[in-house]
Structure 1
Amino acid sequence: MERIVYVNGEYVPEQEAKVSVFDRGFLFADGVYEVTAVLNGKLVDFDGHMRRLHRSLSELQMAMPCDEGELLAIHRAMIEKNALVEGMIYMQITRGAADRDFTFPASATPTLVMFTQTRSIIDSAQAKTGVRVVTVEDLRWGRRDIKTVQLLYPSMAKMIAQGKGADDAWLVQDGMVTEGTSNNTYIVTADGTIVTRDLSHDILPGITRAAVLRCARELQMKVEERAFSVEEALAAREAFSSSATGFVSPVVEIDGKALGDGQPGPVARRLRQVYIEESLKAAI
């Protein structure tokens, strides 16, 4: 089955999809994106993704290409046209095409693109075996709270991790972990407290992060939102990450040191189970 993508009002086969070479997303990474998980053909945390999309666009003084109702309809059409049961929908909005200039164009029509990816999210191999990470210096720009398409350094960090035989990288600034290449990060201390970096310009306000913390508190788990060091992470009882496409992913090794018994820990396993259960019930 040929994949159908959405480009500026049209559903077309992916081989026919085109965007202007003058698009500012291509020339300046002047764009934002959201990735929404799909389970059983339904969207997970869609309202949360829309709230963050509004914030990202506002921070960049960029216009919405259409209203939320239309975006929801397009997402659902993409699921139907691609017979997507489990996976994700990637949505990207750029400022649009304009003659190349560092200043924002006075007027430009936003570019809206969406495509689907089929992936086994619930029955994830990494959720069973755990993820091995290495720490890498965080050299990204200072507004990581905006979900922009400026992803070159996270991509480079992930390649550094793979070159060291690991699965992913945790980014570090001044000795403190900020986040993963494409996820929020957590450790579980010796007394069972879940620690994750507090929200600021330093990290992305993850939609899955918010849901996972809500689940943890409903399960009466102790949560601290604060920065934690690499040393704390290496001494942690367990660790995990969260993202829209990984849900809760246990981390079993950091910089070559196994955490606990080197297997996915009970806190991560429980949170993953509850998050999936709640997502299946609430998906739209």
Structure 2
Amino acid sequence: MAKGTHSYLEDDRNKSIKIYVNGEILSRTDASISVFDSGFLLGDGVWEGIRLLNGELVSLDEHLERLFFGAKELDINIGCSRKELIKIIHKTLNANNMINNVHIRLIVSRGLKKTPYQHPNANIQGSTIVIIPEYKKADKKINEKGINLVTVNIRRGTSDTQDPRLNTLSKLNCILACIEADKAGADEGIMLDINGNISTCNSTNFFIIRKGEVWTSKGMYCLPGITRKIVIDICKEKNIPIYERDFSIEDVHTSD
């Protein structure tokens, strides 16, 4: 079971889920991709994590907007429209008879290569699309006991190195931060930007409450989180002071 903010209740039904792989619905044991796939070889692709709650795909439009934007930035042709992709998602959910407390990992890679080489001209066919739906009911105990955070040395990069605002399959930066945090006994790592300001956590966006105000980073060095936007919108709607600004780890230590 994942720890920290991603803790969920184990569910035996996940042992027999059906997974979508490029037009086929396959059993968990049979689902696979080629060792020559761009996603496996290079982490070359984009992904989204979408929740299914009470029959509703939460913030689906926003997730697909981010997916297609990321694919465009990477010059990846997903190979289908948003409407077609929604049909594929529902097809996968229906094959599993899923309605509630489901987490969907939607993955799009650049596709199959003829040889292990980074240049896209080595690709020999269109994108690879994989949809993995799992029963993942959040563990409420996390809300009761909270999580432990530690500031890590791994920093968020810039858009001219590897754009941290894109939800790509290449997660090495965050994985290294996660490993460092785990070795320090924490659930997640707080990551700074190149200027030493707070950016994000390794797998979640980060907010603090300070003197009655909600602070979060400017968003230049973190993923444009769907939940992050929802929190910001709720604060504005409820007239709660919310600021996207630079702030330091010292500000975090003195937060409410």
TM-score normalised according to structure 2 size: 0.86
Measure the CA separation in 1 of the matches of 2:19 and 2:179.
28
Which amino acid is the alignment partner of residue 187 of structure 1?
I
Instruction: Report what 1:269 is aligned to.
Output: none
Distance 1:205 1:167, change over 3 A: same
Residue 25 of structure 2: SS of its match in structure 1? strand
Instruction: Report what 2:183 is aligned to.
Output: 163
Instruction: Report what 2:200 is aligned to.
Output: 179
Superposed, 1:34-183 pairs within 5 Å as: 34-84=48-98, 85-98=100-113, 99-105=115-121, 108-121=125-138, 124-142=140-158, 143-173=163-193, 174-183=195-204
- Residues paired across the two proteins, number: 234
Residue 148 of structure 1: SS of its match in structure 2? coil
Which amino acid is the alignment partner of residue 57 of structure 1?
A
Conserved 8 A contact 2:18-2:25: yes
**Unmatched 5+ stretches in structure 2:** 1-12
Superposed, 1:200-211 pairs within 5 Å as: 200=220, 202-211=221-230
Segment drifting more, 172-181 vs 111-120:
172-181
Which amino acid is the alignment partner of residue 243 of structure 2?
E
Conserved 8 A contact 2:156-2:191: no
Instruction: Report what 2:4 is aligned to.
Output: none
Measure the CA separation in 2 of the matches of 1:125 and 1:157.
24
Conserved 8 A contact 2:38-2:111: yes
Task: State the 1:116 CA deviation.
Answer: 1.2
Conserved 8 A contact 1:65-1:110: yes
**Unmatched 5+ stretches in structure 1:** 238-284
Identity %: 30
Aligned structure 1 segments of 4 or more residues deviating by more than 6 angstroms: none
Task: State the 1:226 CA deviation.
Answer: 1.2
Task: State the 1:140 CA deviation.
Answer: 5.0
Measure the CA separation in 1 of the matches of 2:154 and 2:184.
17
Measure the CA separation in 2 of the matches of 1:55 and 1:137.
29
